Amino acid sequence: MLADKIHITPPGSLYARIRDELRARIVAGVYKPHARLPSESELMSNYGVSRITVRQALGELEKEGVLFKVAGKGMFVSLPKPFQSLARLQGFAEALSEQGHEIYNHLVGIKHLPASSAVAQRLGLAEGAPVTELRRVRHLNRQPVSLDVTYVAAHLGKRLAQENLATRDIFLILENDYAIALGYADLSIDAIQADSELPELLQIADGAPVLRIERLTHTKDGSPLDFEYLYCRADNFQLRARIER
């Protein structure tokens, strides 16, 4: 039950302010995962609002996945999905470690090979030029969440092959160890069905939906540096972005 009754104006913003306050309490840990929220009647009394207003606030939080309903028992706090923001250029471990998650990379393989037409075009190389392919399965809290296939020019790839890629992000190695300033990345996102090696590596069913991201990262001066295909599970991980009008 909320500690104090809260009287909010103007009426038009009542449900949004209740929604936002409840969300803030959940994020702050006042209501833990799987905890039952105060009943509709309690919230009506505490906020001095109608049942319709309370249901609108709770309904929006349910749509966001913050709450889930149990018939006859009320609203409960969902176990939050880990997420990475698309608004910042960060490595996987860099972003998720900030949220307190356990990160581990399983290095599936490293190959030195001629650049395909697609890879050469992205990296600004001649087709057939030497590149390095790095394949890693990213684990979040001991569950696989993505297969990352990274391509870099061979002179960088040979150096990266000597690094500890199980616990370190390539972005941080490039910046901190190699003094290469990162600038920006171009992304494209689509959905595909898991086939080939993805079901086994990501522990998902054949044909399960997978989010595929193509990311081309540039240096601060605009030169293409790192081209990746990221194949992300759809059930245990989120990508988020804030888009301004």
pLDDT digits (tens, 9 = 90+) for 218-238: 999 999 999 999 999 888 777
pLDDT at 156: 97
Mean pLDDT of 115-120: 97
Task: Give CA separation, 55 vs 26, 62, 73, 146, in Å.
Answer: 17, 10, 15, 36
DSSP structure string for 168-188: S-HHHIIIIIT---EEEEEEE
pLDDT band at residue 2 under the 50/70/90 scheme: very low
The pLDDT value recorded for residue 99 is: 67
State the chain's mean pLDDT as an integer: 88
- For residue 234, how many other CB atoms are within 10 A of its CB? 13
pLDDT at residue number 8: 39
pLDDT of 167 higher than 70: yes
- Per-residue pLDDT of 122-156, as tens digits, reads 999 999 999 999 999 999 888 899 999 999 999 99
> Domains of the chain by range and CATH?
11-77 (1.10.10.10), 83-240 (3.40.1410.10)
Give 50-75 pLDDT, tens digit per residue: 999 999 999 988 887 788 888 888 99
Q: Cα dist. 224→85, 119, 121 in Å?
A: 22, 11, 10
Residues in the chain: 245
> 143: exposed, middle or buried (C-beta count within 10 Å: 0-12, 13-18, 19+)?
middle
Cis peptide before 10 (omega within 30 of 0): yes
If you write DSSP's letter for every residue of 53-82 in order, what string do you get?
Answer: HHHHHHHHHHHTTSEEEETTTEEEEPPPPP
pLDDT at 10: 45
pLDDT at 76: 92
pLDDT (tens digit per residue) in 77-104: 987 677 777 778 888 877 777 667 788 8
Better-predicted residue by pLDDT, 157 or 30: 157
Give the Cα separation of 91 and 168 in Å (integer): 9
What value does the mean pLDDT take over residues 149-164?
A: 97
Q: How confident is the model over 195-208, as a mean pLDDT? A: 92
pLDDT at 80: 67
Q: Is the pLDDT of residue 12 over 60?
A: no
Write the secondary structure of 84-110 as one string of H (helix), E (strand) and C (coil).
EECCCCCCHHHHHHCCCCCEEEEEEEE
For the cut 70, the answer to whether the pLDDT of residue 5 exceeds it is: no
| Choice between 240 and 146, residue whose per-residue pLDDT is larger | 146
